[in-house]
Amino acid sequence: MFDLYIPDEVSPAEAQARTSHLGIGAHQDDLEFMAFHGIASCYQQDGAWFSGITCTDGAGSARSGAFADKTDNEMQAIRAEEQRHAARIGHYSYMAQLGLPSAAIKDPVSRGELVDALEQLLLMTQPEVLYTHNPADKHASHVAVFHAVIEALRRVPPYSRPKQVYGCEVWRDLDWLEPEDKVALDVSGHPELAGRLNACFVSQIAGGKDYGKAVLGRRRANATFYDSHSVDVVDQLWFAMDLTPLIEDNAPEVEAFVKAKLNRFTKSVLSGLTPSAS
């Protein structure tokens, strides 16, 4: 079931129009982990607003402890409220939860409902920067959302598309990307906000997955291992692919786009195995 939540209770039209940064994720908590760069960039800023779209209903999440006996319907309600709570803490412009089953969005035949919904929200929001999943993610629902976002963006008139589209790491990091293919997003600002947002998703933490600690650990590891020949300038980074070429004129096919990055990685690794001429 579609749920539109606006923390400061302005009209939907105003909440959409003022949005400068938009995150589109598969599950409740994906945005806070992968799109924190956008959340932090807009936090307490007069001229910038972050909004979020979560595509699935959260019914299939892992659960244990206090949540072990919760039904799928109960988990949907719990996770939806956790996402609204994060929107309040992060001062989002709006938070839209589409409530679609994961199975429906993973099936290319039934994914059209998601693409249609995203197209309408993109037309009304028209963000400058967009964050979503990347095509090399190993979670099938994340890859499905990636495909839906790109298809929806290609339907939007060019003048209404974001200027920048980032495909962010979650279930598989992007440290393997070559430097020319990797975008390093500085997520070191507002550490207290990051901690509060991560803690919103109690059903996942108490349910057996402490994503909050894992995300902070990856951010710090990314910063430390980013460059072996220079001292750290920032202490937290999140990696992304620049997906903007996929929505421009003469855009490559997704498979060719990803294959080019894999080939550069392969070439880099193999070249390191070849003895250099003395």
Above 80 in pLDDT, residue 64?
no
Q: Hey, what domains does the chain have and what are their CATH numbers? A: 3-272 (3.40.50.10320)
pLDDT (0 to 100) of residue 207:
62
How would residue 70 be classed by pLDDT, with cut points 50, 70 and 90?
confident
pLDDT in tens, 24-35: 999 999 999 999
Give the Cα separation of 277 and 143 in Å (integer): 42
pLDDT (0 to 100) of residue 227:
83
How would residue 1 be classed by pLDDT, with cut points 50, 70 and 90?
confident
pLDDT in tens, 72-126: 888 889 999 999 999 999 999 999 999 999 999 999 999 999 999 999 999 999 9
pTM metric for this prediction: 0.95
Above 80 in pLDDT, residue 175?
yes
DSSP the chain: --EEE-TT---HHHHHHT--EEEEESSTTHHHHHSHHHHHHHTT-SS--EEEEEEE--TT----GGGTT--HHHHHHHHHHHHHHHHHHTT-S-EEEEEE-HHHHHSTTTTHHHHHHHHHHHHHH--SEEEEE-TT-S-HHHHHHHHHHHHHHHHS-GGGS-SEEEEE-BSB--TTS-GGG-EEEE--S-HHHHHHHHTT-HHHHTTT--HHHHHHHHHHHHHHHS-TTS--S-S-EEEEEE-GGGGSTTPPPHHHHHHHHHHHHHHHHHHHHSPPP-
Give the Cα separation of 94 and 10 in Å (integer): 9
C-beta separation of 89 from 32 below 8 A: no
High-pLDDT (> 90) share of the chain, %: 83
pLDDT (0 to 100) of residue 277:
56
pLDDT (0 to 100) of residue 212:
85
Tell me what the mean pLDDT of segment 220-238 comes to.
87
Phi, psi of 105 (to 5 degrees): -85, -25
What are 140's two structure tokens? 């099938």
Q: Count of CB atoms within 10 A of residue 65's CB?
A: 11
Give the Cα separation of 28 and 168 in Å (integer): 15
Give the Cα separation of 234 and 255 in Å (integer): 33
The type of residue at 262 is L
Tell me what the mean pLDDT of segment 1-13 comes to.
96
Which residues, including other chains, have CB under 8 Å from residue 153's CB and lie 6 or more apart? 122, 130, 161, 162, 165, 246, 247
pLDDT (0 to 100) of residue 113:
96
How would residue 208 be classed by pLDDT, with cut points 50, 70 and 90?
low
Average pLDDT, the chain: 93
